[in-house]
A = this chain, B = another copy of it.
Amino acid sequence: MKFHQLRYIHEVVRQNLNISAASEALHTSQPGVSKQIQLLEEELGLQIFQRNGKRLVGVTEPGRKIVELAARVMLDMQNIKRVGDEYSQEDSGELTIATTHTQARYRLPAAVKQFISQYPNVKLTIHQGNPAQVTEQVAAGEADIGIATENISKDERLACLPCYTWNRCLVVPPSHPLVQKTKLTLKDLAAYPLITYDFAFTGGTLVSKVFHDAGIEPNVVFTAIDADVIKTYVNLGLGIGLIANMAYDASRDAPLVSLDCSHLFPDSTTYLGVRRDAFLRDYMLQFISMLSPEHDKRTVQRLLHQDV
């Protein structure tokens, strides 16, 4: 059993059972991949892939287990390489972060700026997606760190860390009647057309629960993935916007006005997650500290169940 063979089957599955695509992604030849897969199957004495003639049409049941184990082996190989890099080329490497739009746009920039100036030789990549995708990418080892509010902390494969809490605010045009109110109520929000995050993408489920529990039905006319889109439509006078409070910046978002809503909704907590069995480069820990300064490197390591 060779290491490449595991990489091959892994990539073939990733590429929807297309050996040609896999061979390209692996920068090698089609026949090579085909051959090695056959050799592996022969060695194990079973079919990993279901074939229809010469076409791969599925993964057999034992094949699924093998692919899963292969992924773990590859992760560990990567971990070993990282240990090597950590002790030889301290400050270079890669860092891939998976996160949602809101975090990427409003919360990460400060930490990212600090990070790239301190670690200019680390190639930083940000993958954007919904919370489920973020979780999946970290779990699959495609991202080192995942940051999201929903979902991520529930996956067994990840070790998570509460990162910070936030709440919501309402953005309205300056002339809006609600600006006169001293303290907003849920009824106030329900009295106007509401624009907020797509429910699947953010803490929306929490928001909807609060309304539901109060027996109030908000008039949601429109949902969007990100606060910028929401603000645009609020500016057009299509409704009032309910967004994360960190997504409002008075100077940048003028003439829109923000009205605090934190008394209406419980705080949401944004979590940061890493794969439990991943080896974390020092700069990864540093990035986490930059993002949530209240956790220093040692604390992070402890909380994430790293060794000593």
Contacts and interface: CB of A to CB of B under 8 A. Distances in A.
Contact of A84 (B45, B77, B86): B45
B65 A69 contact: no
Interface in A20-59: 43-46
What 8 A-B pairs come out closest when comparing CB atoms? A44-B84, A45-B88, A62-B87, A46-B87, A73-B76, A65-B83, A69-B80, A69-B76
A76 B83 contact: no
DSSP majority for the A interface?
Answer: helix
A183 interface: no
Contacts of A69: 76, 79-80, 83, 279
Q: Give the number of copies in the complex.
A: 2
Contact of A80 (B70, B88, B277): B70
Nearest to A307: B65
Given A1-B77, A70-B80, 13 more contacts: A1-B3, A2-B3, A43-B84, A44-B84, A45-B84, A45-B87, A45-B89, A46-B88, A65-B83, A65-B279, A69-B76, A69-B83, A72-B76
Contact of A44 (B6, B46, B70, B83): B83
A45 B85 contact: yes
Contact of A46 (B1, B73, B79, B84): B84
A14 interface: no
A66 interface: yes
A23 to B, nearest CB: 21
Contact of A83 (B2, B62, B277): B62
A263 interface: no
A66 to B, nearest CB: 5
Contacts of A212: none
Contacts of A84: 43-46, 62, 66
A3 B61 CA distance: 25
Interface residues of A, number: 30
A73 B62 contact: no
A73 B77 contact: yes
A304 to B, nearest CB: 15
A81 interface: yes
10 contacts: A1-B3, A2-B3, A6-B80, A43-B84, A44-B81, A46-B84, A62-B86, A69-B83, A69-B279, A70-B80
A84 B83 CA distance: 31
Contacts of A83: 44, 62, 65-66, 69
Interface string A225-248: 000000000000000000000000
Contacts of A85: 45
Contacts of A44: 80-81, 83-84, 88
